[in-house]
Amino acid sequence: MSQVFNPYLPSWEYIPDGEPHVFGDRVYVYGSHDRFNAPIFCVNDYVCWSAPVNDLSAWTCSGTIFKKNQDPMNRLGLRILFAPDVAQGPDGRYYLYYAFDFLGVIGVAVCDTPDGQYAFYGHVHFPDGKIWGRRKGDEFPFDPAILVDDDGRVWLYSGFETPVPAVMSRFRGHRNSGGVVLELERDMVTVKAGPKLLFPLKTNQETPAPEDFRGHEFFEASSIRKIDRKYVFVYSSTHNHELCWAYSNRPDGDFRFGGTLVDLGDLHLNGNTDERHAANYLGNTHGGMACLQGEWYIFYHRQTNRHSYSRQACAERLERTPEGGFLQAEVTSCGLNGGPLNGLGRYEARIACNLWSAEGTARYDRKFDKEKHPYFTQTGKDRETNGDQYIANMRSGALAGFKYFDLSAPARIRLEVSGHAKGSMEVALDPAFKQIIATVPIACDQTQAIAKADGELQPVSGKQALFFRYVGEGALSFHAFELI
């Protein structure tokens, strides 16, 4: 079994909004499909990745499972597929729920296998045939999450914070009250009851959010699981860069706030709430939970390429509380690995979980000075399997952090870098660089050519993080490092 890194899919793959589901002995991830360096979200068609639950390093792609132009509302393919979810219906078939960007309807496709070719099935509609989202006053359909309960009842969750202009939705009568639930018939597409408001928005004046949600109110990214006979709802909060959870004894009400599960910049951990000095660059995130070999994980996505349109799939193990709750996970480089990475071998810089400039971090959904900040990017075009993903634009004071390694064995470190840069790369065990264990001279004068630079490591032991800080002139591209 090989090691598993974050992001856990190949470097050339960009799957955000990942919903993990275990069917049989495999875990399947259903997500949107970004394109490298695209100008907008989710340009590509849906694909499905899966892995054996007992080998989370062996991810394989089943190829395209649903194309955007299969829906009769999008024959020209001009609309783009946003975050999906999948559930096995009472009839044993698999049902894929999706939303076309801001069209304001939920589509359903069906397949006999989890990762086969899905066929268009219909749009979620009321018993009279009227499509949900086409009646005046309908809550805006967005980010579907689906649950088939133990008793066969079917629950659909949805919601979005931002009011959508009529020019985008092609309908003028939508409401945006918050996260809602609908009960569907066993046919998986006809509304039986609802929608019912569960999670009021921060801006909802008619129905304010409950006190325990204050500061973490619902924004988008609905996801639902049943865990230990409780209904656990995962969502993106008004911060937009964290996934939170809520829980209830019933699927259609009385949810209480549980806490933060993961934040892209580790905000809310150790009391830090400063978005300018997060552990990583910030943007939206979306995901769900899965139990893999007795351990619970939260799946989410990170940002790359200095924008929110080339996002990649990550996951972290969740620790449980004595009461059965979940603690906030730290973002790491080894989320699905089951422990620290080996202290010997070559590691690509793309698995860094911490990244910031000398001035801190930024939010990719807001204006910032791009020239000052390092970022993940790649050579080649979208889905070129021989491309090289790396950290670009590391200027003096920029830091890349990797968590965690077993550092009992290595005695030397070798860096692979490029760019126009002269200075040194400091290697430390802590982000404040109080425990520097190596200083490697850097001298690069060609943007494309990869140079190797060696340095000695001071002996350390046990589970450790590694932080790399460039100090010097010019801009450095960090490709990889090798522990020897």
| Residues involved in catalysis | 17, 220
Q: What is the DSSP letter of 166?
A: H
Structure tokens at 230: 């409780």
Q: Is residue 280 a contact partner of residue 399, using CB atoms and an 8 Å limit?
A: no
Mapping DSSP to helix (H, G, I), strand (E, B) and coil, where does residue 126 land? Answer: coil
The amino acid that residue 100 corresponds to is F
Radius of gyration of the chain (CA): 23
* Residues β-bridged to residue 339: none
Mark 110-139 as b/e (b = at least 16 C-beta within 10 Å): bbeebbeebebbbbbbeeeeebbbbeeebb
Helix (H) or strand (E) holding 168: helix 166-169
Query: Measuring CA to CA, which residue among 202, 155, 205, 203 is closest to residue 180?
Result: 155
The helix (run of H) or strand (run of E) holding residue 169 is helix 166-169
409 three-class SS: coil
**b/e 413-444 (16+ beta carbons within 10 angstroms → b):** bebbbbbebebbbbbbbeeeeeeebbebebeb
**Cis amide bond preceding 404, omega within 30:** yes
Q: H/E element holding 468?
A: strand 463-483
Compute the C-alpha angle 340/224/187, nearest 5°: 135
Rounded-to-10 torsion of CA 144, 262, 333, 62: -10
Sequential DSSP letters for 173-235: --B--EEEEEEE-TTSSBEEEEEEEEEE-TT-SSSPPPGGGTTS-EEEEEEEEEETTEEEEEE
